[in-house]
Structure 1
Amino acid sequence: MDTKLITGTVEMLMLEVVSRQPTYGYEILQKVLADSNGRFDLKEGSLYPALHRLERQKLLEASWGEHQGRRRKYYRLTPAGRKNLAARRTEWQEFSAGVNGVLGLQPRVAFGA
């Protein structure tokens, strides 16, 4: 499978989780796992490099906070991150509709209609 597709999808899922409320890395892992019914079991080795990449791209901002007596780095979406997530959602919907059409998983609509 194309690693760019996988990377882009993982980043989109992470942005989605963070868009709901500021959160920290482990909580992102757990939320993606739960919301995907166990289909996306992200590992810390891919999560943190992706978080740092999204932060460098100014899509996320980070700040330190406490949770249950432990210091955690919380991430929140920036305005650019919200715009980027909206674009990724649209791309995903178009991509998945195309794939589902070819696989016969959705009704066919006349092209250009």
Structure 2
Amino acid sequence: MNADALRGHMEALLLSVLEREPLHGYAIIEALRERSGGALDVPTGTVYPALRRLESAGYLAGEWAVSGGRKRRTYRLTDAGRTALAGERSAWKAFTSAIGSVLDPSR
């Protein structure tokens, strides 16, 4: 998928993936890939800065944990993150409806 198409939507995608359960960075990348049927193969250089922005905004809480002998930062959605995700979903529905009306005027 074109990286430009993701611009402006990465944070909503990350919040959505973390809605189900806390995950570490690589697991988040794998979840994006899996949930998109392989269409989203997002590089770590895109995901980790976005995770840090979301954590700084208070939408995610991160903590270090040891898993399989490796130290990993695990992220979970906060209450503020759930509220932000609800807003992102609402905005996405309005956006896709408007674009759909233009691209498929027979709707």
TM-score by length of 1: 0.85
Aligned-partner Cα distance in 2 for 1:80–1:8? 19
Task: Please tell me whether residue 22 in structure 1 is matched to residue 22 in structure 2.
Answer: yes
Aligned-partner Cα distance in 2 for 1:70–1:106? 54
TM-score by length of 2: 0.89
**4+ runs of 1 displaced by more than 6 Å?**
none
Aligned-partner Cα distance in 2 for 1:61–1:7? 23
Aligned residues: percent identity?
38
The number of residues matched between the two structures is 105
Which structure has the bigger radius of gyration? 1
Aligned-partner Cα distance in 1 for 2:30–2:106? 31
**Partner residue of 2:13?**
13
- Consecutive unaligned residues in structure 2, runs of 5 or more: none
Structure number with the bigger relative contact order (C-alpha 8 A, sep ≥ 6) is 2
**Partner residue of 2:89?**
89
The RMSD of aligned alpha carbons is 1.8
- Consecutive unaligned residues in structure 1, runs of 5 or more: 108-113
Aligned-partner Cα distance in 2 for 1:20–1:32? 13
